[in-house]
Each structure stands twice: as C-alpha cells, then as structure tokens.
Amino acid sequence: MTVFEIIKKDRPSLASQEAEGPRTGLLKTTHGTVKTPVFMPVGTRGAVKGTMPQQLREAGSQIVLANTFHLMLKPGVETIEKCGGLHKFMAWDGPILTDSGGFQVFSLSTINSTDDSGTEFASPYDGTKIKLDAAGATEIQNKLGADIIMCFDQCPAFDAEPKEQQKAVERTIKWAKICKDVHSNSKQLLFGIVQGQTDQQLRQDCAKELVKMDFAGYAIGGLSVGEGTEQMLRTVRFTAPLLPEDKPRYLMGVGTPADIIQAVEAGVDMFDCVMPTRNGRNALAFTKDGSIRLRNSAYTDDFRPIDPSCRCLCCTTYTRSAIRHFFNVGEMLGPILLSLHNIVFYHNLMDKIRENIENGTFAGWAAQALQSSAYARA
C-alpha cells in the first residue's frame, strides 16, 4: 500500500526560489487518511487541553499528537494497554502521532545524563530514576498503538559546541537503526528524525543515513529552540529537499502561522505546535486582523465576536467582553473558548494553504499573506 500520495505541486514565491515548493498530499494511516499539509493539535498527556474530541473533529482536526515521555510516566503504558490502546484512552478515533520523548529529554537536561546507550533521568513527578533508550521508546510506542510513531533522537541545545552537535547526530543515526530493527507493529508508520541544528553538513549527513534506512516518513527536528527565525527557515529550506519526495515531511514543534506558510513553501507536509492552545489559555486570540489580548481593558465593553469571519463556537456564541470577563474572574470557560477558536484559526489556515496549492495560486497568496496582520507573529 502506498502510504503517501502527492496530489498537486505548486511553485514557491519569487522571494523563496531556493524553496522546493509546496505540495498537497494524502497520508494513509490505520485510522484514516490525512490531507496534507496538515496541522496537528498537541495532546501531550492524552488530551488537547481545554477541548473535547468531538469539538476537535468539528474544528477540522484530522490527526492529533500525544507524547510518549509523559504518557509512560503517567498514567503508564500498562494502564493505557488495559484500556484498549491510546485511541480508546483518548476517546479519539482518528489518527494519532506519538513523539518518542527525545525533545522532552532535551528540555529536562538539568536532570538527565545521556550516553550512547540512552538517557537516564529523574521523573519530574517523584524523582524516580528512569532509563529511556531507542529500543524502549519504540516498544512503548508499539504498545500505545498510535498510527505514526517517532524514532528516539537526541536534540542538543542550539548553542551546543560543534563536537556535541556532531555526537548528537551520530547517536540519532545509531538510535534510528535500533528503532527500525525493534519496531514490531506493522499497523504503525515509523518516522526518522533529522538532527544537526543549523549546521548544513550535519543535516546532510544525518538525512543521508536515515534515507538509507527507508522510513515511512521523515521529520526535521531540533529547531525552534532558540536559533532564531531566519536560521530556522534557512535550515528547513536546506533540509527538506534532502528527504525523499514520495515520503511525508514533518517539521516538529514549529508553528507560528508565518513559519508554517514558509515551511510549506519549502516542501513540508506536517506540523505541530502548542501555540494555539497555550496562547488560548493565556488570553491571546488569533484573528484575521492580527492577534488580540483579551485581558486588555479595551475589550471591557466590546460586544463583537473575537473574529466576525470565524464560525467557531466561540465566535458565534460569545463576545469579546464576555471572554475578557471569564479570564479576569478565573472562569475556566475563557481558556476553553480561546483554545478552540485558535485551533479553528490554524485549521482554516491549512485549508487556505491546500486550496491555493490545488488552484496553483500559492505563490501569490503566500506573498500577500505574509504581509498581512493575520499571520504576523503573536
């Protein structure tokens, strides 16, 4: 069975001629086919914060992300297995992608130690010493049962010494082979992760070795960790063409609207980011006129919807004034409504991206969109 089918390719804008160009496609998984380019809401601990599965479906979500690292700590793999797997545990019948936990290990670098065999870290919950390696991360994901699982990788800090960056790439390649050998669930798609920070030679070396292993898809990892937007986009434009054209390309954890548009232009198909829900929980809403911060007193008597052009539950039911009130009195409905609205905003963006690629108008639309207030950085 063909896992990934490219439907349409379009040209990049004149300002991004070094980019490979955007494409639409179909990614086929056990729990359904995903239209790409796609944005995946993040449900780290088994739930997309502040939303119900039915709401996610109605918002346009095709696939969601969960995290191996956090789920293996709480509630534990055995509990999820007893429940019948991650889909049943999350009450989500669509595709799920699980990260391997490599980035979380990086973010907990003050309480872990890493060598060629894997990582040992102290649980952030109770301090228990836990060992996680490539084989273990893969076996856990096999048991969780997500449709797409990720290889265990090492994500060093963006300003790490060159020798440390080199070592991280060597380990990522070594661990990827272990993951491929251990992977035992034929219903799951295993993706490799290209590391190398902003060093083009390291990215090229890592991609070359991973492509030899013939994974179902490939991710570009280790970005949006402090290197800056221009360096990040330059690295994406360089790395994407190194990956097989007939396999899905996933840019991990990068997610401002402007970043997504430019990464699609570079040939990326999949995205995830906590930005829609995290900003929603902090009273920031994305709109066609730019982002707005609902705690501001300017919205005390503003009885308009968040975005008059949006048809989400938030915008068709509540006013800016009411939502500001919910936040200021600690009512949980405020974060719920803005999280949902922001997810809809992101899915609407992906709809526009796919539509313009299909119509052959992406270049002009992207150039105009990147100049608009709607997709300015929050």
Point out the catalytic residue in the list 99, 133, 205, 269. 99
Q: Which residues contact 201 (CB under 8 A, 6 or more apart)?
A: none
User: Does residue 156 have a cis bond before it (omega within 30 degrees)?
Assistant: no
Q: For residue 99, indicate whether it is catalytic.
A: yes
Catalytic residue among 133, 147, 205, 272: 272
- What pairing do the DSSP bridges indicate for beta strands 189-194 and 4-9? unpaired
CA atoms within 13 A on the CB side of 20: 22
Q: Kindly provide the b/e burial profile for residues 359-370, where b requires at least 16 CB atoms within 10 angstroms of the residue's own CB.
A: eeebbebbbebb
Please, is 105 exposed, middle or buried when counting C-beta atoms within 10 Å of its C-beta (0-12, 13-18, 19+)?
A: buried
Output the furthest CA–CA distance in the chain (Å, rounded).
61
Asked if 134 contacts 84 with a C-beta cutoff of 8 angstroms, the reply is no
The DSSP result for 323-353, as a single string, is: HHHHHHTT-THHHHHHHHHHHHHHHHHHHHH
Residues 6+ apart with CB under 8 A from 59: 51, 312, 340, 343, 344, 347
Other Cβ atoms less than 10 A from the Cβ of 40: the count is 24
Query: Is 116 noted as a catalytic residue in this protein?
Result: no
Element at 362 (helix H, strand E) = helix 362-369
Which amino acids are annotated catalytic?
A: 99, 272
